[in-house]
Structure 1
Protein backbone atom coordinates (compact mmCIF):
# COMPACT_ATOMS: atom_id res chain seq x y z
CA UNK A 1 0.00 0.00 0.00
CA UNK A 2 1.17 3.51 -0.78
CA UNK A 3 -0.12 6.43 1.26
CA UNK A 4 0.66 10.02 0.33
CA UNK A 5 0.27 12.98 2.69
CA UNK A 6 0.58 16.57 1.48
CA UNK A 7 0.83 19.82 3.40
CA UNK A 8 -0.36 22.75 1.29
CA UNK A 9 -1.12 26.41 1.79
CA UNK A 10 -2.10 29.30 -0.44
CA UNK A 11 1.58 29.37 -1.52
CA UNK A 12 1.33 25.80 -2.83
CA UNK A 13 2.79 22.45 -1.84
CA UNK A 14 5.03 22.72 1.22
CA UNK A 15 5.72 19.07 2.04
CA UNK A 16 4.92 15.67 0.55
CA UNK A 17 5.48 12.34 2.29
CA UNK A 18 4.97 8.92 0.74
CA UNK A 19 4.65 5.92 3.02
CA UNK A 20 5.12 2.42 1.60
CA UNK A 21 3.78 -0.65 3.39
CA UNK A 22 4.62 -4.08 1.98
CA UNK A 23 5.55 -7.63 2.82
CA UNK A 24 9.16 -8.46 3.59
CA UNK A 25 11.23 -9.02 0.45
CA UNK A 26 14.56 -10.80 0.06
CA UNK A 27 17.46 -8.46 -0.71
CA UNK A 28 20.32 -8.90 -3.17
CA UNK A 29 22.41 -6.56 -1.01
CA UNK A 30 24.40 -8.14 1.80
CA UNK A 31 25.97 -5.60 4.14
CA UNK A 32 28.86 -6.81 6.21
CA UNK A 33 30.42 -5.09 9.18
CA UNK A 34 29.07 -2.50 11.52
CA UNK A 35 26.85 0.30 10.30
CA UNK A 36 27.64 2.55 13.24
CA UNK A 37 30.48 5.04 13.25
CA UNK A 38 31.34 7.26 16.17
CA UNK A 39 31.58 10.78 14.82
CA UNK A 40 32.60 13.50 17.22
CA UNK A 41 31.35 17.07 16.92
CA UNK A 42 33.51 19.29 14.70
CA UNK A 43 36.25 21.49 16.12
CA UNK A 44 35.24 25.01 17.15
CA UNK A 45 37.04 26.47 14.12
CA UNK A 46 35.58 24.00 11.58
CA UNK A 47 33.89 25.44 8.49
CA UNK A 48 30.22 24.50 8.69
CA UNK A 49 27.57 24.73 5.98
CA UNK A 50 24.26 26.38 6.86
CA UNK A 51 21.30 26.19 4.54
CA UNK A 52 19.54 29.33 3.29
CA UNK A 53 17.32 31.05 5.87
CA UNK A 54 14.34 30.69 3.51
CA UNK A 55 14.56 26.88 3.64
CA UNK A 56 14.20 24.20 6.31
CA UNK A 57 17.95 23.49 6.13
CA UNK A 58 18.58 27.04 7.33
CA UNK A 59 17.78 25.77 10.83
CA UNK A 60 20.89 23.55 10.85
CA UNK A 61 24.68 23.64 10.65
CA UNK A 62 26.20 20.77 8.65
CA UNK A 63 29.64 19.29 8.26
CA UNK A 64 30.27 16.86 5.42
CA UNK A 65 32.85 14.28 6.44
CA UNK A 66 34.28 13.75 2.96
CA UNK A 67 37.79 13.04 4.22
CA UNK A 68 36.63 9.86 5.97
CA UNK A 69 36.30 6.76 3.83
CA UNK A 70 32.66 5.70 3.72
CA UNK A 71 31.67 2.16 4.56
CA UNK A 72 29.04 0.12 2.80
CA UNK A 73 26.08 2.04 4.18
CA UNK A 74 27.06 5.20 5.98
CA UNK A 75 25.82 8.76 5.91
CA UNK A 76 28.83 10.95 6.50
CA UNK A 77 27.21 14.23 7.47
CA UNK A 78 27.18 15.75 10.94
CA UNK A 79 24.35 18.18 11.76
CA UNK A 80 23.10 20.29 14.68
CA UNK A 81 20.32 22.79 15.25
CA UNK A 82 21.44 26.40 14.97
CA UNK A 83 19.09 27.50 17.75
CA UNK A 84 18.47 24.89 20.42
CA UNK A 85 16.97 27.31 22.92
CA UNK A 86 13.46 25.96 22.82
Structure 2
Protein backbone atom coordinates (compact mmCIF):
# COMPACT_ATOMS: atom_id res chain seq x y z
CA UNK A 1 0.00 0.00 0.00
CA UNK A 2 1.30 3.45 -0.93
CA UNK A 3 1.49 6.32 1.45
CA UNK A 4 -0.23 9.51 0.31
CA UNK A 5 2.19 12.46 0.06
CA UNK A 6 1.02 15.62 1.82
CA UNK A 7 0.80 19.05 0.20
CA UNK A 8 3.73 20.29 2.28
CA UNK A 9 5.91 17.40 1.14
CA UNK A 10 5.04 18.19 -2.48
CA UNK A 11 5.93 21.82 -1.91
CA UNK A 12 2.35 22.99 -2.33
CA UNK A 13 1.95 24.30 1.19
CA UNK A 14 1.42 27.91 2.12
CA UNK A 15 4.12 30.25 0.94
CA UNK A 16 6.20 31.49 3.82
CA UNK A 17 8.49 33.84 1.90
CA UNK A 18 6.51 36.38 -0.06
CA UNK A 19 8.05 38.71 -2.59
CA UNK A 20 8.46 42.27 -1.36
CA UNK A 21 5.74 44.65 -2.55
CA UNK A 22 6.48 46.48 -5.78
CA UNK A 23 7.54 50.06 -5.37
CA UNK A 24 5.86 52.47 -7.75
CA UNK A 25 8.13 54.84 -9.59
CA UNK A 26 6.69 58.26 -10.27
CA UNK A 27 7.81 60.01 -13.41
CA UNK A 28 8.63 63.66 -12.87
CA UNK A 29 6.29 66.28 -14.25
CA UNK A 30 7.57 67.32 -17.64
CA UNK A 31 6.81 70.61 -19.33
CA UNK A 32 6.31 69.72 -23.01
CA UNK A 33 4.93 73.05 -24.21
CA UNK A 34 8.12 73.94 -26.10
CA UNK A 35 8.20 70.53 -27.80
CA UNK A 36 4.54 70.79 -28.76
CA UNK A 37 5.10 74.29 -30.15
CA UNK A 38 8.17 73.13 -32.11
CA UNK A 39 6.36 70.17 -33.70
CA UNK A 40 2.83 71.57 -33.98
CA UNK A 41 2.84 71.26 -37.78
CA UNK A 42 4.19 67.70 -37.84
CA UNK A 43 1.99 64.84 -38.98
CA UNK A 44 2.95 61.21 -38.45
CA UNK A 45 0.80 58.66 -40.22
CA UNK A 46 0.63 55.26 -41.82
CA UNK A 47 -0.39 54.18 -45.28
CA UNK A 48 -3.42 51.96 -44.75
CA UNK A 49 -3.30 50.13 -48.07
CA UNK A 50 0.34 49.86 -49.17
CA UNK A 51 -0.54 47.70 -52.19
CA UNK A 52 -2.54 50.58 -53.70
CA UNK A 53 -1.10 53.68 -52.02
CA UNK A 54 2.47 54.53 -52.92
CA UNK A 55 4.53 56.49 -50.43
CA UNK A 56 6.29 58.60 -53.07
CA UNK A 57 2.91 59.83 -54.34
CA UNK A 58 1.56 60.55 -50.86
CA UNK A 59 3.52 63.76 -50.21
CA UNK A 60 2.65 65.61 -53.44
CA UNK A 61 -0.98 64.58 -52.92
CA UNK A 62 -1.08 66.03 -49.39
CA UNK A 63 0.55 69.28 -50.57
CA UNK A 64 -2.10 69.70 -53.30
CA UNK A 65 -5.00 68.61 -51.09
CA UNK A 66 -4.12 70.98 -48.24
CA UNK A 67 -3.13 73.79 -50.66
CA UNK A 68 0.16 74.31 -48.86
CA UNK A 69 2.46 77.18 -49.70
CA UNK A 70 6.14 77.29 -48.85
CA UNK A 71 8.36 74.40 -47.89
CA UNK A 72 6.83 71.10 -46.90
CA UNK A 73 9.04 68.11 -46.16
CA UNK A 74 7.94 64.49 -46.06
CA UNK A 75 9.99 61.49 -45.07
CA UNK A 76 9.41 57.77 -45.28
CA UNK A 77 9.92 56.29 -41.80
CA UNK A 78 9.73 52.67 -43.00
CA UNK A 79 7.10 50.02 -42.29
CA UNK A 80 4.52 52.06 -44.27
CA UNK A 81 4.83 55.04 -41.87
CA UNK A 82 5.58 58.62 -42.85
CA UNK A 83 6.29 61.98 -41.26
CA UNK A 84 5.12 65.15 -42.98
TM-score (norm 2): 0.20
In terms of fraction of residues, the more helix-rich structure is: 2
TM-score (norm 1): 0.20
- When Rg is computed on C-alpha atoms for both structures, the one with the higher figure is 2
